[in-house]
Structure 1
């Protein structure tokens, strides 16, 4: 009963929310360009109407502020308390700030008809506004567009059709090549005093290729309008319009000529330039080869070896097998630190007195030594305070010995659940979470080669003497023999372990978001002090830690996840709740809803921890039926009008 009352009260609140955003706009702005085209409402609802409406209001306010400041394209998101709201507002390139804000205000006022649906999209001639509880910024949806034709036919159908087709074709080519994905142009219709006005525009969050595909699709759909004197083609990602009536000023025309140079002469220049450039490059390479060969011969005669580096990356130090044996006391058990998929790990002391960790693993001999050398060169050049350094290596027969820096406090799992007497306080746990996130962000986005770890777990996070975390074993998966690198082996955990992202475990789909998922699981382990396999509790026996965390989150009982060994006076309740939400956000499906690790670092860096999306639902327009009543006309140049919605 309380839940129904909550929804009823929220239904009343939505009117207040939208009216406040409409800035007292009570009537549609006058003018042909402010005509409503169509709108969509989601038939699905979030879990908490109170938080959804609050987040929606915040998102819309942010969009309006950006438009008021002169932007023609605005995005915003508010992700508190599990009711995520992404928002987007796009005004056509020809409107001024006042017209843009007026169009947005009226759109927001009209969208109150969508009530508590967790997504909506409305289109006007001047602008479109969209919000939803998933990240839709990169959507173009080129198969679900709408075309709206005027009901007046040109008196010169053949000439009109030819002119429209030529102009719109040029605009679909030019718009994706402009800096703002927008182009406006005019063209005189032959044997007539009539001028044709047209625009093409894409959302700025799209890639150039997606923008091009979207406009190509809309260009094709506009053919259904001809020879109607007006036509509009809309989609989630792009908008095209033509009319024989001016809807922008002649001083607002885009010079599209420079974006259309794709003719035969241009192609010939490219071909000739390519051939000449290729010949010059070949001669240059040949000259460099001869020079290098002569230099190499001189150097070999003088020194017996090459003294200079021939690569940008410096390779790891090479140790002899005898050095490794002495360092580990012939791999004695007392020096053994542990073992896993990558082999046994020993503590060693080098001749210079440095303490190191030496990993003994099987070399991927089938891939060849050059492959091993290249991979080791990449790994040893990774320098980050939260990543274990590879110092050197040694090969002996089928074995590869990797020499790493040594961590005094061993692996994180020892402090979480191996020895309950070794407790970590809240400051240390947060530092480990934050440092691990920074290390992964570096591997994914900041190093010159993208490295996906694929085996993030607590045993691969090592702690130095100050409990600063360092990620180990990154890049090592590429050193294993082919028959040991597939997900069906024990490598990267197992499907039962709970660390592996489902899309990788089931389908072998690999991306940086695989590490994001594993990181989320590790964070839950750090917060709870429990293993990810299953949770032992009054109501959670046999549950995975992730399922247990989601159940607690759904019931608003975040804090029941917190390790009982933590002193409540050490942490702020809201901070712990938000970090739990970050972890859940990292484990979401589909993959696109998970943040990049650089985004996770930003969220963790924010002391207020405001932006935490944790929701398993999505706003899918394919699940909405749209029925258009064309019997009611909203304007003189529109044939579409009332839109009604019903769930499938």
Structure 2
């Protein structure tokens, strides 16, 4: 499974690097920001099953936030609010919206809960009949998970204040007794992960080279916004299953449960408990617990490699020396003469120029640099991707070559 564990120099009792966990469904549908109910505090409402003591806490006081963003600012086509701008739903409202969480509304599930399809009135955000109104995704967290509560707080803290075209919209939340829920816009095309790897589906066609580049550019814009905000945000769990797609394949980053504020006061990193997903977490973070802004760049590089190859970052079904995609393909990324044969997904052959593929491989390799300071910034990554997308390609009239065997063996 690759090198997945380390010992951080913190007071945390243990570290958590997860095997890849996926929400197989899709999230969200845009709502009018002006129709949301503003709420600056979240009521804990008593001791929960997670052992959280009763108190009122503001979004700026959550452990994942570590401090407020300050005043409302608008930058890089996005917005950061001083306080969350969310609707507070009752549990009954969300029961009605999801048809009492019936199995036929289940979109997907993961380690910290299940995601259901729901329907809300677009104007009032009150429950609507199934098939009418605005479709939303309702995430119901596992009440037995301590980490689930922390992730819930982090989602409200970050997504409740941050608005950007390439970040999924959080519309509201609910906390009643032990129930923790989050309401998101619905993303009808599902996750990048589902399009790249679920090859047995009759409804999911391989996404094209141009669409992959578009998705990469959108995701890069989202990360660049987080990294260049007044208060830097480190996403910490960038992976294909957390990139969601709308009906036009516009990409948005979702799931901010592990996000943290970046270093302050001239520091280069923050020290924190190791959490994330095997295959995507940066080596310095796994080894030391030191989290850099450019730790996200490494994760982005892993996803770029997945998009180029069409292969999972970690796959225990592959031979032992090929299970970790980065370890397996790193050398091939620098072999310019054999990029097509050893790197590129054979399902999209003849859709790209050799120049574009080579530049994409070189960019991926830079993102995967072992030393954080040697990696490019996300703004630099974004500019490189836009340059690659501008490279024109003439479709070859020659018969296509069968690359599947070489692709899996090199």
- Name which of 221, 233, 241 aligns with 1:451: 233
Structure-to-structure mapping, 1:552-631, within 5 angstroms: 552-556=332-336, 557-560=338-341, 561-568=343-350, 570-607=351-388
Structure-to-structure mapping, 1:629-640, within 5 angstroms: none
The aligned counterpart of 2:7 is: none
Distance 2:255 2:152 in 1: 15
- Name which of 277, 281, 304 aligns with 1:493: 277
Distance 2:257 2:154 in 1: 11
Distance 2:86 2:303 in 1: 30
- Name which of 347, 350, 361 aligns with 2:117: 347
RMSD: 3.2
Structure 1 runs (4+) deviating above 4 angstroms are 362-367, 369-375, 475-478, 534-537, 607-610
Q: Deviations over 1:587-619 (max 9, x none)?
A: 101111011111111222235999xxxxxxxxx
Gaps of 5+ in 2: 1-71, 73-80, 121-126, 261-271, 392-410
How far did residue 395 of structure 1 move? 0.5
Count the aligned residue pairs.
285
Task: Report 1 or 2 for greater relative contact order, CA contacts < 8 Å, sequence distance ≥ 6.
Answer: 2
Q: Compared with structure 1, are the counterparts of its residues 315 and 414 closer, same or farther at alpha carbon in structure 2 (3 Å cutoff)?
A: same
The aligned counterpart of 2:89 is: 319
Distance 1:413 1:444 in 2: 23
How far did residue 355 of structure 1 move? 0.6
Q: Deviations over 1:105-157 (max 9, x none)?
A: xxxxxxxxxxxxxxxxxxxxxxxxxxxxxxxxxxxxxxxxxxxxxxxxxxxxx
The aligned counterpart of 1:102 is: none
Q: Deviations over 1:39-84 (max 9, x none)?
A: xxxxxxxxxxxxxxxxxxxxxxxxxxxxxxxxxxxxxxxxxxxxxx
How far did residue 312 of structure 1 move? 3.5
The aligned counterpart of 1:395 is: 175
Structure-to-structure mapping, 1:188-207, within 5 angstroms: none
The aligned counterpart of 2:103 is: 333
Structure having the larger proportion of residues in helix: 1
Distance 2:288 2:215 in 1: 31
Structure 2 SS opposite 1:357: strand
The aligned counterpart of 2:222 is: 439
Q: Compared with structure 1, are the counterparts of its residues 355 and 397 closer, same or farther at alpha carbon in structure 2 (3 Å cutoff)?
A: same
Distance 1:332 1:358 in 2: 12
The answer as to whether partners of 2:192 and 2:245 remain within 8 angstroms in 1 is yes
Distance 1:371 1:472 in 2: 12
The answer as to whether partners of 1:411 and 1:458 remain within 8 angstroms in 2 is yes
Q: Compared with structure 1, are the counterparts of its residues 374 and 572 closer, same or farther at alpha carbon in structure 2 (3 Å cutoff)?
A: closer
The structure whose Rg is larger is 1
Distance 1:423 1:472 in 2: 22
Structure-to-structure mapping, 1:208-223, within 5 angstroms: none
Q: Deviations over 1:473-524 (max 9, x none)?
A: 125557xxxxxx943xxx5213xxx111111112111111111111100011
- Name which of 272, 276, 300 aligns with 1:519: 300
Q: Compared with structure 1, are the counterparts of its residues 374 and 558 closer, same or farther at alpha carbon in structure 2 (3 Å cutoff)?
A: closer
Distance 2:228 2:339 in 1: 31
Distance 1:461 1:403 in 2: 17
Q: Is structure 2 residue 325 aligned with structure 1 residue 545?
A: yes
Distance 1:534 1:374 in 2: 29
The answer as to whether partners of 1:432 and 1:468 remain within 8 angstroms in 2 is yes
How far did residue 536 of structure 1 move? 8.0
Q: What TM-score does the superposition give when structure 2 sets the normalisation length?
A: 0.63
The answer as to whether partners of 2:236 and 2:258 remain within 8 angstroms in 1 is no
